[in-house]
């Protein structure tokens, strides 16, 4: 009697095999969707590289700094992946800013500044209708929101600003300060850390600033010239080119 009960029936066996096959197919479809998203991401980023090589390099460094902070915060692999993608895309809206404004080496007029300030909304517009990038679109849109609510485009405040956007703002500002440009030399890390601390609680999430500085000091101690990303292959230079 007991022995008979342990034997799996033919219909049950067929059901289990079918379930296993379906699970395998779902996993394979998920992998395929991820690959297609990555191909789409790389194509869009290539368009940014064609438009402005500096902004492309800046976006890769912002992704690296964001993920470094994300790791310090203990984010999961999946969360780090979305954070990297959001950071890579944060300035994608600059594709829609005229070269005369985007590449202008001198001070922008008020009108030009307004055009420049439209780039987070443009990032959102570019990404929002591709379903797998809908959340990423929102994180990109909010990367110039300030912790005190005086940022743009929506004047979001504190933790109403998505976490990834608060992370990207710190990474973005840090790269802008430490990158050497034709018209000025990049600041040393320590000076940039002081700047972040000065605007901690007004521009930046104060808790994230503490974690960022800690994470970047550990990175600095490794003394590596390059970094890697998950979504784009290759070694990236830490210093702007």
Q: At its nearest, how many Å lie between Fe ion and the CB of residue 224?
A: 26
Q: At its nearest, how many Å lie between Fe ion and the CB of residue 110?
A: 18
- Cβ-in-10-Å burial (0-12, 13-18, 19+) of 82 comes to middle
Residue 118 CB: number of other CB atoms within 10 A? 16
Is residue 72 at the binding interface for Fe ion, with CB under 5 A as the rule?
A: no
CB-closest chain residue to Fe ion: 91
Q: Which is nearer to Fe ion, 52 or 91 (CB)?
A: 91
Helix (H) or strand (E) holding 226, with range, is strand 226-227
Residues in region 121-160 near Fe ion by CB under 5 A: none
Residue in 52, 72, 84, 91 binding Fe ion, rule: CB under 5 A: 91
Integer Cα distance of 135 and 65 in angstroms: 20
Q: Which is nearer to Fe ion, 37 or 176 (CB)?
A: 176
Q: At its nearest, how many Å lie between Fe ion and the CB of residue 143?
A: 6
The dihedral over CA atoms of 155, 161, 162, 165, expressed in degrees to the nearest 10, equals 70
Are the C-beta atoms of residues 65 and 168 closer than 8 Å to each other? no
Q: Which is nearer to Fe ion, 118 or 230 (CB)?
A: 118
Please give the residue ranges that form the binding site for Fe ion (CB under 5 A): 91
């Amino acid at each position: 009697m007991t022995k008979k009960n342990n034997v799996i029936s033919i219909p049950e066996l067929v059901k289990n095999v079918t379930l296993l096959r379906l699970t395998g197919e779902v996993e394979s479809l998920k992998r395929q969707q991820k690959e297609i998203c990555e191909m789409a991401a790389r194509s869009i980023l290539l368009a940014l590289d064609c438009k402005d090589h500096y902004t492309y390099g800046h976006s890769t460094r912002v992704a690296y700094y964001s993920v470094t902070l994300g790791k310090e915060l203990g984010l999961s692999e999946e969360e780090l992946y979305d954070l990297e993608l959001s950071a890579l895309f944060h300035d994608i809206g600059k594709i829609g800013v005229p070269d005369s404004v985007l590449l202008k080496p001198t001070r922008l007029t008020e009108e030009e500044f307004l055009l420049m300030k439209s780039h987070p909304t443009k990032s959102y517009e570019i990404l929002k209708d591709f379903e797998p990038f809908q959340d990423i679109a929102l994180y990109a849109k909010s990367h110039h929101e300030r912790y005190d609510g005086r940022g743009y485009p929506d004047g979001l405040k504190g933790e109403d600003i998505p976490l990834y956007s608060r992370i990207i703002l710190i990474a973005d500002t840090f790269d802008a300060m430490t990158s050497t440009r034709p018209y000025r030399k990049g600041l040393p890390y320590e000076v940039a850390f002081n700047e972040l601390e000065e605007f901690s609680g007004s521009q930046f999430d104060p808790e994230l600033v503490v974690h960022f500085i800690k994470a970047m000091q550990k990175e600095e101690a490794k003394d590596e010239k390059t970094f890697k990303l998950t979504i784009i292959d290759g070694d990236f230079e830490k210093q702007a080119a």
